[in-house]
Each structure stands twice: as C-alpha cells, then as structure tokens.
Amino acid sequence: MLDMLELFLPKDSHRIRFLYLIGSVFWLALIGIGAMNMRTYLESQGSIKFDEIYYFFLTFHGDSGFFIFIEIATVFLVLYISHLRGQELGGRLLSLLFWTANIGAVIYFLGGPITGWYLQYPLSLQPGSFIGIYGIDYWISYVGIIIISVSFSILGLRLFKVVRDTILRTSSILMGITEPFLGIVAVIDIVGIFGKTLSAIIPTSVFWIFGSSSDYYMTYATFGLLYYFIPYYGSRPISEKWVKWFSLPLLILPILSFSSDLLTWPIPVPLKIMGVISSYLLSGFLGLLIINLIKSLNMYKLGDVKSFFSLLCYIGFIISAIPSLLLPEPFLDTFFHNTYYVVGSFHSIIWDFLIVGLMTGLVSFAEERRKYSESETILLNLGIILWSITSTVLAYLMMEVGYFGLIRREIIYSPGFKPIMVFMSFLAYDALTSITLVVSIPLWIFISSIKGPKSIKKIVSRVSIIVKSFSK
C-alpha cells in the first residue's frame, strides 16, 4: 500500500519532477492528436454532419494546451531548473495538485465542449455547445475548470513561496494570482446557465486577464532554463541583475495587456491603448533579457545535446517574437486580427521556443540517468533540427495565408487555399514525426532504467536488445 502511495503521490523531489514531466508529454501528445484531426478535417473542408466533431477537436486542442499543458510544463521546468540550481522541491501537496488538475481536465472534456478554446460567452451557456456525456447537466464541465483553476492557483502560490530563483518566482506567482480568473469565468458560466446572465464583455475580459497572463507562465520558466544553460556553456551575461530589476514589470504587464486580445471588441479606446502599450513594453523587457545573454554566446561551446537544444531554444525565441510584434497593433484592419496570421504567430512561439525549451529539460533530465550514445545524440539533434525547421516554415506559412485573408476557426474556405492547406498538413505530420523522435529516446532511457520485479526487468532488457540491434 505504501509503495502504491509513493508511486502515485510521491514526496520525493525526483519522482515529483518525473510525474510532471510525464504529464507534460502526455498532454502534448493529446494536443498533437487534436491538431492532426483538425488538419485532416480542414483538408476535406468538413461537412455539415461532422462539424461538431471538428469544433470539439478545436476546443480540445486549444483548451488542453491553454488550461493544463502550459501549467504542468511550467511546474516541471520550475522544479527541474530549481534542482539544477541546487534546490530540491518535494512534498505530497505537489503530487496531489497534479492529480486534482488532471481530474478537473477529465471532468471538463467529458462534457464534450465545442465552444472554442476561449469559452466564448454567451455561446458557452447553450446546451448545444456540449456534445458529451452530461446531457442537460452540461454545467458539470465548468466544475472541472474550477478544479483546474484552484489546483494551479495553489501550485503557483506554493512554488512562489519556496522557489529561490527570481524568474521562476515570477512565473509561479503570475500563475498563482491569475489562474483564479479562469475559475471566475467558469462560475459566471454556471450562474448564466441557471438564468443570471451578464454582458458578454465582462466574462470575456475576465477570461483574457487569465489568457494573456497564462501565455507567460511557461515563457518565463523557459527563460529560467536559458539563464541556466547558456551561461553554463558560455560565459556570464551582461548583467545578472537585469532579471531582478525586471521581475515587477514582468509580473504586472501580462495582466495589463489583456485588452490587446480584445481589439475587435467595442471597448473604450484608453483600455485598448493600455493593452497595446503594455504588450510592447513586455516585448521590450523580454527582448532585453535575450540581449543580456548575447555576451554568453561569445564563448558558447556546443559540447553535448543540452547545449545544442538550449541554443536552438534561444534562436527560436528570436524567430517567433519578431512577427508577433504586429499583433497588438490597433491601427491594422480589425479583420486582420481574425485571420490565420494570429494562429501562425502564437503557434510559432509555442513550437519554436516553448516546446524546444521543454525538450531541453526533457533530454537533460534523462541524461541524469545515463549519458547518450553517439547514435542517440545524432538522432536527437537531427530530430530537433527537423522540428525547428518544419514548425517554423509551417508557422510562417500560416501567417502568410492569414495576410492574404484566410479566416481562422472556419471550416469552409476559398478553393485557392486548398493546396496550401494540404502542404501545411504535410509539414504538420513531418513536425509530429520529428518531435516523436526527440521524445522517444529520453523516454526509453527512463523506461529502461525502471527498477521493479524481475519479470518486468527481463521484458525491458529484451526490448532494449531489439532497439540496440535495430539502431545498428
């Protein structure tokens, strides 16, 4: 009984890191499955009969990334980088909150939401917006969101209390104080379902206080990773005080920038200006943190997988940040903000920066078990290069077709975009293959190092022999 408790609710810091790592990879895989279903659907332009299925995968793809993957991956990076810096963070509370958040996600998705990933109000109140198992009691889905919100809010506050690294503390407290806004939106939806409705601008604004902030949970944690690995393989940054100086604006500006996600809404102009200015200031501070590491790159040594991955992560931020500077611009045609340019821009940040950062943590964590062989190193580097190339091309292609008028979230589009849609699907499958290669090698290291009954060890040993013979 004690062994089972330690397996699912570990107190040991190493096992807790592994729990959050597996959770991150699991939800990343589910996000990919949702995306591939959407791409297959878009190639055929859908049909009236199956439109609900498309919108479920759209909602599942976005919400599983927005509500749970980002948070779980952030916690893993915070725990792992703290470990690298000599601080072990354990305790059964961290394990318990991992499971409550995942249970909340299961409760939510069993309702079969098809509202889109931003809980669009008042569409989110209608029974036709849910195709899951709850029937007329579809409000139960929002109970799942409340559980998710409470779990990650407590996690963020807990980590802020114990973590020593400045940028990781900023990431943690931002999660702790903004996750409750997601729960508030769920409460508003439940109250609305039972008859007390509000103007749509109120829950939408509350949602984007969470939404615009959650974009930066994992961003800051990934910066924490860069500020460990790049100076480790290079030299000290220009100033080690910049992160401390910037911690307060990095906390406040994501919250103030919420109105930049409401540029197509009839909100007061001063509010729009506040969001735009906050977004540009935030981009400026993050840009300075990247510039701060340039000195470290002067003496950078590509010695192993971690050094190569972290360098690609650094480059990925620059590649993805440049096109995103257009998004908060209010003087563009508002139609532009509803095109594939938006989709390509934020996916570029996720793919080129955040995912590569997570992969850096993954390969580093696995290397603590054993060193990578020469063939494994080649495969890992090849996989992350292919991932970076295909994901960058795909993201920029999305932005290009958005510039030419392809509307996001719609099933029916101009036939002229069909060849591009097919090509984007090809790139997506290529990227999926690449990232699977990257993930599979560290996961195999974890599996092959399992300590358990002799029967399990024998099976693992035989599979290991087959894999090694295949690689030769």
- 5 in helix, strand or coil? helix
Return the axis-axis angle of helices 269-291 and 217-233, rounded to nearest 10°: 20
Q: Tell whether 61 and 159 lie within a shared domain.
A: yes
Question: Does a structural domain hold residue 344?
Answer: yes
Q: Is residue 360 part of a domain?
A: yes
Shared domain check, 248 and 99: yes
130 bridge partner residues: 113
One domain, residues 215 and 359: no
Residue 264 lies in a domain: no
Residues 245, 351 within the same domain: no
Does 173 share its domain with 33? Answer: yes
Which residue range is the domain that position 27 belongs to? 1-225+235-254
**288 located within any domain:** no
What does the block give as tokens for 161? 């209390």
Both 221 and 360 in a single domain?
A: no
pLDDT of res. 455:
45
8 Å CB contact between 411 and 367? no
Cα(92)–Cα(72) distance, rounded to whole angstroms? 16
If asked whether residues 249 and 342 sit together in one domain, one would say: no
Say what the pLDDT of residue 44 is: 74
Confidence bin at 165 (pLDDT 50/70/90): very high
The whole-number pLDDT of residue 50 equals: 61
Say how many domains are in the chain.
Answer: 2
Q: Is the pLDDT of residue 470 over 90?
A: no
As a whole number, mean pLDDT of residues 180-205 equals 94
- Token pair, residue 235, equals 């030299």
Q: Flag whether 402 is in a domain.
A: yes
| One domain, residues 209 and 109 | yes
Tell me the C-alpha distance between 313 and 364, whole Å.
14
Average pLDDT across the chain, whole number: 88
pLDDT tens-digit profile of 216-262? 999 999 999 999 999 988 888 888 788 889 999 999 999 999 988 88
Angle between helix 374-403 and 418-448 (nearest 10): 150
239 and 387 part of one domain: no
Considering the domain boundaries, does residue 54 fall inside one?
yes
In terms of Cβ atoms closer than 10 Å to its own Cβ (0-12, 13-18, 19+), residue 181 is buried
Q: Is residue 330 one of the residues assigned to a domain?
A: no
Cβ burial 80-118 (10 Å sphere, 16+ → b, else e): bbbbbeeeebbeeebbebbebbbebbebbbebbbbbbbb
- In this structure, the answer to whether residues 106 and 243 fall within a common structural domain is yes
Establish if 387 belongs to a structural domain: yes
Q: Which residues contact 409 (CB under 8 A, 6 or more apart)?
A: 58, 116
Is 348 in the same domain as 214?
no
Q: What is the CATH number of the domain that holds 164?
A: 1.20.210.10
**Mean pLDDT confidence for 345-366:** 94
Q: What is the model's pLDDT at position 276?
A: 86
pLDDT above 90 (res 162): yes
